[in-house]
Amino acid sequence: MKANGAAIRAVRGARGWSVRHLAHLAAMHPSHLSRLERGARGASDEMLSRIAAALDVPQDAITRETK
């Protein structure tokens, strides 16, 4: 699975959260999250799990299948 940065950004935006706020909740650096949302950086399964938990969504809501 690969992170779907647009989905992460959409859910974060719907909650009115800043990159910094979500990064804090997911225990990651804000610049890494920003790059991940833009597709310039990947994420481990553990990191995706933390982001999904922070957003309170299933992990498949913020990932996509790799081809």
Nearest to 22 by CA among 4, 41, 48: 48
The pLDDT of residue 5 is 95
Name the DSSP letter for residue 10: H
This prediction has a pTM of 0.92
Give domain limits for the chain.
2-58
The pLDDT of residue 55 is 98
Each residue's pLDDT, cut to its tens digit, for the chain (67 residues) gives 799 999 999 999 999 999 999 999 999 999 999 999 999 998 999 999 999 999 999 999 999 877 6
The pLDDT of residue 67 is 65
Q: Which is the CATH superfamily of the domain at 2-58?
A: lambda repressor-like DNA-binding domains (1.10.260.40)
